[in-house]
Amino acid sequence: MKIALDAMGGDYAPREILRGAVLAKRALDVELILVGRRGEIERELHEIETNDMYGLPDFEIVDAPDVIEFDQNPSSVKERRGASIRVICELVKHKQADACLTMGHTGAGIIASLITFGRLGDVLRPCVGITYFNLQPETLLVDAGAMVDCKPEYLVQFAKMGSIYMEKIHGIERPSVGLMVNGREDNKGNEFTRTVFALLKNSGLNFFGNIEGYDLPNGAVNVVVMDGLWGNVVLKLSEGLSEQLLSRLTKRFAEAGMSHAVHPILNEFHVMMDYTRIGAIPVFGVDGLMLIGHGRSNAAAVVGGIKSTLQALQVDLLGALRAGLTEPDVA
């Protein structure tokens, strides 16, 4: 299996991406193509080699002179053909790699994959799904931020793709799907969500019904569907709240002279709520396999992302999505 890795994407690129590539190459059965500014990549690899007792594994390097930074307009990827996040997609399209992986700009990654691969089957819009930390690893939130202006039909497809992902990657049979609104009763929600509700009810999916805010941290269903604007808000809110609570707890325990005693347990929770630990997530709804990892990924997180990519290839996630999206609905 060959993966095109964006060496330039991420807060700690290229160093941590390349360190991760070295670790992954030693631990996993995978071929990696490093994509980015050749000079920088070679310089970093040389640096790693100098400080490494094992010597470097073999990598193919593909030059990409441009990088989309996090503060840049993701749409600019349409014109910037030399951007590493675009070149990794081209390598997949031209069958020089089986899948691609970036820790770079999520929005740019989605657009790059969409314009390079095209849409998958009847998909109206692509999206991304992410499990609710390791707090609820069997609950996927979709859309996690790709599409902010949604039509009801999009959300039904998001739910369908999320269900296939949870089945294939997490081994959950007939994943339950919940629609996030302001209460569990059927008549809750607004005009938009009531239309989505009716469509989901007839979708053939294992539709649980409306769910409310408590149900996400409680893991009430396997797939939580909402539009990408609110998916983004919900994720950042959850990250921010848990960080706020854990950092205040750390401070209060320190004031009480208990830092040392409580550290291992508080650290467990930091790890549990750390999105860099859950690997990388695929773009759903494009006709090629691209995974996107957390921007703050260090070398270990890059290894995790490569594992996620290998797993998606092993279970043929793309094939399952394609089949699931074109098969007639079971009503």
- Contact residues toward a copy of itself (CB under 8 A) are 135, 145, 148-149, 180-183, 189-191, 193, 212-218, 227-230, 232-246, 248-249, 252-253, 256, 258, 261-262, 265, 268-269
> In whole angstroms, how close is the CB of 13 to a copy of itself at the nearest point?
21
| Residue 328: partners with Cβ closer than 8 Å, 6 or more residues away | none
Q: Closest separation between CB of residue 193 and a copy of itself, Å?
A: 7
CA distances (Å), origin 10, targets 67, 103, 167, 255, 274: 10, 5, 29, 36, 16
Which one, 110 or 235, has the nearer CB to a copy of itself?
235
* Min dist. Cβ of residue 305 to a copy of itself (A): 23
Beta-carbon-side half-sphere exposure of residue 32 (alpha carbons within 13 Å): 32
Contacts of 69 (CB under 8 A, 6+ apart): 105
Our CB check for a copy of itself shows the closer of 120 and 181 to be 181
SS3 211: strand
Give phi and psi for 191, each to the nearest 5. -55, -45
SS3 62: strand
Which residues lie across from 290 on neighbouring strands?
Answer: 100
Name which of 134 and 311 has its Cβ closer to a copy of itself: 134
CB of 217 to a copy of itself, least distance (A): 4
Least distance from C-beta 212 to a copy of itself, angstroms? Answer: 5
Of the pair 51, 190, the CB lying nearest a copy of itself is at 190
Nearer to a copy of itself, 176 or 238 (CB): 238
Residue nearer to a copy of itself on the CB measure, 27 or 233: 233
Label the pairing between strands 206-211 and 127-132: unpaired
Query: What is the nearest approach in angstroms of a copy of itself to the Cβ of residue 56?
Result: 38
Tokens standing for residue 165:
């992902």
Which pairing describes strands 290-292 and 281-284: parallel, antiparallel, or unpaired?
Answer: antiparallel
